[in-house]
Amino acid sequence: MGKDFDLYERELWAGRAAAYERGFARLTRHLVGPLLDAAGVTAGTRFLDVGTGPGFVSQEAVRRGARAAAVDAEEGMAETARRNVPGLDVRVAVLPEVPFEDASFDAVAGNFVINHVGDPHAAIVELMRVLRPGGRLALSCWVMPGSGALAIVREAIERAGVAWPDDIPESPFMEHGEAVAFRRLVTEARLTEVAVEEVTWEHVVDPEEWWETGALSRVGTNGVIVGRQDAQTVARIKDAYDAIVAGYAVDGGKVALPAHALLASGVR
């Protein structure tokens, strides 16, 4: 399952950097500050940003005065991060591979990356390897199964009667996406002083923009499924989507979509 899922993830995200930056990265950006706080990132911190995507976590770490480096599994994401954070040392690697020496960093953080790997335990153990003794690790993930902003397109797909494709694997992280299970996963990797908190917020966005970035741009599994459908089925999914997001309408023609995440941290 792990290897199959990792292969699926590589195919899923190939060439999707620009679309991700326009859409879902704006949603996940809400947790950048709390994530860096949990990792103890301040001026002078040697910091590794894991699964950097567009580089927003590294960008904020550098603004705080940290000495940042980053890794991502997708070359397009790495290029985007280099553009957004000039001079950033970004390396392409697929977790659990981390191409840095033992104890290279004072802090390591990954914003919504641990739920995209085939073996989360092995990934956390490897992240601990590059932490110095006493260094801090912080990881965010979605509350699973997804809800609100994360799941609206999937709910629309289901309402439209489209079945989950047999060739798309479920994330191995499904069993870890609640507070007790996430704490257990981090603790079993031998982190100490473990803390897990649930974070909720509202993502205010134009509903047509969210449809375009979450369904039509082939970002994530929902986008892949929508992209496989004929025009009539896509229209049916869109009708279901419009009915769902109408319940989240706010002023200005936008919607306020709830987001639910977990933030875990601990010390090596």
What pairing do the DSSP bridges indicate for beta strands 255-267 and 131-142?
antiparallel
Paired strand residues for 70: 49, 90
Per-residue pLDDT tens digits for 73-82: 999 999 999 9
pLDDT of 194-229, one tens digit each?
999 999 999 999 999 999 988 888 888 899 999 999
Q: Please check whether residue 26 lies inside any domain of the structure.
A: yes
Does residue 236 fall inside a structural domain?
no
Distances (CA, A) of 58 to 66, 83, 135: 9, 12, 17
Eight-class DSSP state of 171: P
pTM attached to this predicted model: 0.93
Q: Which of left, alpha, beta for 134 (phi over 0: left; psi -120 to 50: alpha)?
A: left
Structural domain count, the chain? 1
101: left (phi over 0), alpha (psi -120 to 50) or beta: beta
- Give the model's pLDDT for residue 3: 59
Exposure pattern of 203-242 as b/e (b: 16+ CB <10 Å)? Answer: bebebeebbbbbbebbbbbbbebbeeeeeeebebbbebbe
Q: Is residue 138 part of a domain?
A: yes
Percent of the chain with pLDDT over 70: 99
| Mean predicted confidence (pLDDT) in 233-243 | 96
Rounded-to-integer distance, Cα 217 and Cα 70, Å = 25
DSSP state of 163: P
Question: 153 lies in a domain?
Answer: no
pLDDT band at 1; cut points 50, 70, 90: very low
Full residue range of the structural domain in which residue 6 is found: 2-146+169-202+259-267
**Which of the two residues, 166 and 85, has the higher pLDDT score?**
85
Alpha-helical regions (H) of the chain: 2-13, 17-22, 24-28, 32-39, 56-63, 75-84, 120-129, 152-159, 179-188, 207-211, 220-227, 231-245
DSSP letters for 191-223: -EEEEEEEEEEEEEE-HHHHHIIIIIS--HHHH
In a domain? residue 152: no
**Whether the Cβ atoms of residue 36 and residue 60 lie closer than 8 Å to each other:** yes
Q: Average pLDDT for residues 82-87, to the nearest whole number?
A: 96
pLDDT of residue 50: 98
Q: Are 116 and 205 in contact (CB under 8 A)?
A: no
28-44: pLDDT as tens digits: 999 999 999 999 999 99
193 is a domain residue: yes
Residue 134, domain member (yes or no): yes
Residue 228 placed within a domain: no
CATH number, domain with residue 86: 3.40.50.150
pLDDT digits (tens, 9 = 90+) for 98-155: 999 999 999 999 999 999 999 999 999 999 999 999 999 999 999 987 778 888 999 9
Which residues on neighbouring strands pair with residue 138, listed in sequence order?
A: 109, 265
